[in-house]
Structure 1
Amino acid sequence: AIADTAPLHVDSQHEFLDWLRSAGFSVNPNVARCTSPAEVHAFCADALAHRADLDYDIDGVVVKVDGFDQQLDLGFTARAPRWAIAFKFPPEEKTTVLREIRIQVGRTGVLTPVAEFDPVTVAGSTIARATLHNLDEIRRKDVRPGDTIIVHKAGDVIPEVVGPVLDKRPADAPEWDMPVACPACGSPVVHEGDEVAYRCISLDCPAQLKERLIHWVSRGCMDVDGVGDELIDKMIEAGLLHDVADFYLLDVDAIAALDTGRTYVKDDKKKGVAAGDSIKVGTAIATKVMDELIRSKEQPLSRVLFALGIRHVGKSVAEVLAKRFLTIDALAAASEEDIAACEGIGPKIAASVREFLSVPENLEVLQRLRDVGLTLEENLGAAVAQAAQETGVDATLASGQPLAGLTFVLTGTLVNRTRDEAGAALKLLGAKVSGSVSKKTSYLVAGPKAGSKLTKAESLGVPVLDEAAMEAILATGEVPNV
């Protein structure tokens, strides 16, 4: 969200930067206010030409709409503001030798080819590997083991193989092909005709197991702090983990006894160990891990659905499914058509969810999760109560969804709330909040300095409310007859 700068009496980006300078903040001097596209192009070209003269690394220039009112009107997508865009500089390129293409098996069984090449320094750091994504990409770029290749960092961040230097290719360099068997478990590799991905479909594949376990405990999923790659490796080696439900069968003693792979360098009589003895995980860390695992049982169904690693089900899709079906049993009983009817979910996602919940082994894991204490339900009451407290909306009123079926658009400057806060409050009462006015818009809420949206609403006959009217709706759930 855009910060509230009204108390500073500034209306634009450049005025805000001037205020920061006057307040004693360090502000980059390499900024300019441009009045035309030509000036923007000239600034970017000059920044690229003098990139090496700076005392720090940059990978481009950010171009922003100056006025805050215009920024508010333009709003945001799910990932970025519509009022700012990055002009990326061409990445620095280096050549090196591709020694091998190895396969990495992900948590959904996808086989991803990874280029292993002689280490080379690019954009300030040394890289020695980069994903090649899939076989189609390898064919398109025509890269082969033994090639001299051009590498760079996409966005000066992600290592990428640009392509081969063909005049340096060894005469005997053969085309690379996908293996017919999974390198982790030896099971057959399957390629579905409508997809670029090659997959290992074995549920017993150890590579998939590790990736599924890592995904389960990650921050966006069950959020189990203190459990990372290294500890999961040790748990698998010790035979403690075979699926995600096994996390909840662990105990402090079993975790504490795990070997870290390191040894003591000198005798320590207090600990009763000698140089060369293996270092164990220990009770302190094990207790913390168990506390985190117990806490994770309280995560809502949306987190569990995301953590299960169902193909095509990310965080947002998981939240939609959880809100619609409320329990894992209801979702498991739903037809593919029922799932596809959810807003934002198409037939491909629905088919993936239905397929996952039709596999007996997956249903067994879900039952084991229930047996160890996970509720597998979405606690909408708690979520609504928290959101109501944050937005100042009555929780009982919100549970009735009085604004369901209505679409609101917000424009101009609001006094009591930011537009994001007002939108969140309206959504809590069941309304849909859109960024643009159309014939389907139920109400436009217009604050001071409203612009083109107000003009369009008036031309379409869309009812226009002021902020006081909106606050009345949020307090009562009742809309005016206008």
Structure 2
Amino acid sequence: MSGTAEDTAIESLDRKAAAEELERLAGLIAAANAAYHRDDAPELSDAEYDRLKRRNAAIEARFPDLKRDDSPSDRVGASPSPGFAKVRHAQRMLSLGNAFDAEDVADFIRSVRSYLGLEPAAPLTFTAEPKIDGLSLSLRYEDGQLVQAATRGDGAVGENVTANARTIDDIPARIHGAPDVLEVRGEVYISHPDFAALNARAEAAGTRTFANPRNAAAGSLRQLDPAITASRPLRFFAYAWGEVSAPLADSQLGAVERLRGLGFATNPLTVTVDTTEAMTAYHDRIAAERAGLGYDIDGIVYKVNDLALQRRLGLRATTPRWAIAHKFPAELAWTRLEKIEIQVGRTGALSPVGRLTPVTVGGVVVSNATLHNEDYIAGRDARGAPIRGGRDIREGDRVQVYRAGDVIPKIADVDLSARPDGTQPFEFPALCPQCGSDALRDEGDSVRRCSGRLICPAQAVEQLKHFVSRAAFDIEGLGAKLVEELYADGWIREPADIFTLRDRHGPGRPTQLKNREGWGETSARNLFAAIDRRRTVPLDRLIFALGIRHVGETNARLLARRYASWDAFETAMSAAADRGGPAWEDLLAIDGVGQVLATSLVTTFAQGAERASMERLIAHLEIKDAARPATEGSPVAGKTVVFTGTLEKMTRAEAKARAESLGAKVSGSVSARTDLLVAGPGAGSKARKAAELGIETLDEDGWLSLIGDG
């Protein structure tokens, strides 16, 4: 994990550069998730995708308070396709954190031991199994009968593919000796011989061939006609479970063996290991045997074997603490950089994109690559230190490409020996290519931004696209392309214009929507109806839709839960403008809200033009207040709790999670607004400050007694 240009760049990022990079990565990874999980048309290899997520996680680890509400770390997959009925999973289908070398695996083991409070010498066993590169599927059995099959979707809601799953030979329609309710989870895949035969038949018939077995498996399972699925050679490996009415076993390995006994195919290469050395040795052995396995894998999965320990470790937002995927290295390819283009994003950031001579990398054709910023192109990091040995990137260069995460791959290196004569260093624009405004770069920032704000069409259009996106207002029929067209024609310029569209361009108006090319009375009526359905909106969606920098879905939900209503939220943001009073302290006391996010919020609400735009929008909406957590009877609901010192009966992470589940707000610092301090041995300055402020202080036993865990 060290020694690469990418790592050097991360270490050199200042706070502004880190925040901008996290914003860029969030957009790239969201698009990649949609392409991979929803559209079955990935544009990047898994290794390249993992590299982007790895970079995102590394920046978040270095700047934890900059973590975005729409952080890729908090998201799984993509929203389900509208072609299938939706299924809400009884238990979320999570993704896995990634390890890329032995050091990462050792860090994983240390984190597990630390969370559980285990000494380094205490025994701890893991299972190890190949990570199948296919499509995740959850099978629900009730009284032994298969009643539902669903894809992962976005982790919470997937697609109902029950009829298709019934056609797969590896999936039994009925099982015997199982718990009354059992959700079996695993991976649908196609073997290498079957994939070759499938493509041979398609080629002979003159129909479309598949790029790789994963695409073929996903496309086959997600057919609207089950007969097509039945004609495809799909297989299924079971390796996990969701909701279950009775335990399958006491251990991960025992549970997998139980699934095999129930008639499911499980991977025979699954073993148990108990050291970093044993894990990496298994990883290296399977990597060497990878080509002969007969199916695609992209790494090894390690899981804590003891299920009681798994329950203690619990889950993060999208990943379990008790499992990790040890991925295989990325694939590389060389091609020609034909042109460097500058794109302007929603926040005005000028982002360079390389247009490539198309090249296949890991089974996917790549024609674009991210170039990050002007320093990266020039061969230096944000502090001026050389990267790639100081080699700059120029149009016409022969470049090495790897699919580094999402939609846009990354350029890893430049072949100077193949550089054409007469090429010149790329001159990064000082003016916005969209509106001609000055493109400014603040001191210490790696990103140049257009100063045009509301007059810049690129920023306005991207803001509108964000506003109507799936996680925001999700207006059916009003997609990115139509937003661009309506903006270009002057029909919408800000979000409020969407809700006056019928008044200005509805029936009887001189310029009617139904008269536009490609539109008719029915389609226009449907769009107006879809807009009307979104006049009532939950508070968290509205906050996210405003497009405030650093406010993603997760933080929007945090803010909505904290303030409950739009009036309270708006009043608090205005009151926090002094960045020193109670409202500012309340904002910073929200777990997950740091200085950067708080500053972005209050700065936005202090801008006259943006505030006026919000008010015009709000006039057309009915905003649903956020529901408070169901914490009736909790002695700490609504209270702010601080933990300090050493806890002896639970780890700090377990204590924090328990307090939040009871409706408490956990803060890292003591202030006049702190209600309770829980102090273990070694408590220092926080305990002294709490005493000075007269804040109630409990030891660990007192805390456990208070919450009923004593």
TM-score range, shorter chain: 0.7 to 0.9
Q: Percent identity?
A: 33
- Match of residue 337 from structure 2: 98
Equivalent runs, 1:293-332 vs 2, <5 Å: 293-325=531-563, 326-332=568-574
Q: Is the CA contact (8 Å cut-off) linking 2:678 and 2:703 kept in structure 1?
A: no
- Match of residue 341 from structure 1: 588
User: 1:45 and 1:147, CA in 2 relative to 1: closer, same or farther beyond 3 A?
Assistant: same
Tell me how far 1:8 sits from its aligned partner: 3.6
Tell me how far 1:4 sits from its aligned partner: 5.2
Length-normalised TM-score, structure 2 = 0.52
Q: Is the CA contact (8 Å cut-off) linking 1:423 and 1:433 kept in structure 2?
A: no
Please give the per-residue CA displacement for 1:250-301, whole angstroms capped at 9, x wherever unaligned.
1255443332xxxxxxxxxxxxxxxxxxx32x34443333333223232233
- Match of residue 290 from structure 1: 528
User: 1:333 and 1:286, CA in 2 relative to 1: closer, same or farther beyond 3 A?
Assistant: farther
Tell me how far 1:145 sits from its aligned partner: 1.0
Q: Is the CA contact (8 Å cut-off) linking 2:589 and 2:667 kept in structure 1?
A: no
User: 1:54 and 1:215, CA in 2 relative to 1: closer, same or farther beyond 3 A?
Assistant: farther
Tell me how far 1:6 sits from its aligned partner: 6.7
Please give the per-residue CA displacement for 1:356-411, whole angstroms capped at 9, x wherever unaligned.
12222111211211222344xx613xx13xx53xxxx55xx68x9746245799x9
- Match of residue 427 from structure 1: 661
Counterpart check, 1:207 vs 2:458: yes
Q: Is the CA contact (8 Å cut-off) linking 1:59 and 1:155 kept in structure 2?
A: no
2:617 equivalent among 369, 391, 394: 369
- Match of residue 120 from structure 1: 359
Counterpart check, 1:138 vs 2:388: no
Counterpart check, 1:235 vs 2:493: no
Unaligned runs of at least 5 residues, structure 1? 260-278, 413-418, 444-459, 470-477
Unaligned runs of at least 5 residues, structure 2? 1-91, 93-240, 380-387, 669-675, 681-698
Q: Is the CA contact (8 Å cut-off) linking 1:113 and 1:134 kept in structure 2?
A: yes
Cα separation, 1, equivalents of 2:358 and 2:493 = 36
Amino acid at match of 1:23: L
Please give the per-residue CA displacement for 1:184-215, whole angstroms capped at 9, x wherever unaligned.
12211111112111111211211112211111
Counterpart check, 1:80 vs 2:319: yes
- Match of residue 306 from structure 2: 67
Aligned residue pair count:
411
Instruction: Tell me the SS of whatever aligns to 1:341.
Output: helix
User: 1:216 and 1:403, CA in 2 relative to 1: closer, same or farther beyond 3 A?
Assistant: closer
User: 1:324 and 1:38, CA in 2 relative to 1: closer, same or farther beyond 3 A?
Assistant: closer
Cα separation, 1, equivalents of 2:530 and 2:679 = 46
Tell me how far 1:347 sits from its aligned partner: 2.7
Please give the per-residue CA displacement for 1:30-51, whole angstroms capped at 9, x wherever unaligned.
4322233322112211222233
Q: Which region of structure 1 is more displaced relative to structure 2, 76-85 or 239-248?
A: 76-85
Instruction: Tell me the SS of whatever aligns to 1:146.
Output: coil
Instruction: Tell me the SS of whatever aligns to 2:606.
Output: coil
Q: Is the CA contact (8 Å cut-off) linking 1:427 and 1:433 kept in structure 2?
A: no
Q: Is the CA contact (8 Å cut-off) linking 2:640 and 2:667 kept in structure 1?
A: no
Q: Is the CA contact (8 Å cut-off) linking 1:91 and 1:155 kept in structure 2?
A: no
Counterpart check, 1:358 vs 2:596: no
2:625 equivalent among 379, 393, 396: 379
Tell me how far 1:61 sits from its aligned partner: 1.8
User: 1:53 and 1:172, CA in 2 relative to 1: closer, same or farther beyond 3 A?
Assistant: farther
Instruction: Tell me the SS of whatever aligns to 1:154.
Output: coil
Cα separation, 2, equivalents of 1:84 and 1:249 = 50
Cα separation, 2, equivalents of 1:171 and 1:231 = 44
Cα separation, 1, equivalents of 2:664 and 2:371 = 44
Q: Which region of structure 1 is more displaced relative to structure 2, 231-240 or 183-192?
A: 231-240
- Match of residue 473 from structure 1: none
Cα separation, 1, equivalents of 2:667 and 2:574 = 31
Tell me how far 1:105 sits from its aligned partner: 0.8
Cα separation, 2, equivalents of 1:232 and 1:177 = 32
Instruction: Tell me the SS of whatever aligns to 1:354.
Output: helix
Q: Is the CA contact (8 Å cut-off) linking 1:101 and 1:113 kept in structure 2?
A: yes
Cα separation, 1, equivalents of 2:367 and 2:571 = 47
Cα separation, 1, equivalents of 2:560 and 2:702 = 34
- Match of residue 229 from structure 2: none
Counterpart check, 1:258 vs 2:516: yes
Q: Which region of structure 1 is more displaced relative to structure 2, 106-115 or 197-206?
A: 197-206
Length-normalised TM-score, structure 1 = 0.75
**Which structure has the larger Rg over C-alpha atoms?**
1
2:281 equivalent among 19, 42, 45: 42
Q: Is the CA contact (8 Å cut-off) linking 1:441 and 1:462 kept in structure 2?
A: no
Structural RMSD (CA): 3.5
Q: Is the CA contact (8 Å cut-off) linking 2:432 and 2:439 kept in structure 1?
A: yes
- Match of residue 639 from structure 2: 404
- Match of residue 426 from structure 2: 176
Amino acid at match of 1:294: D
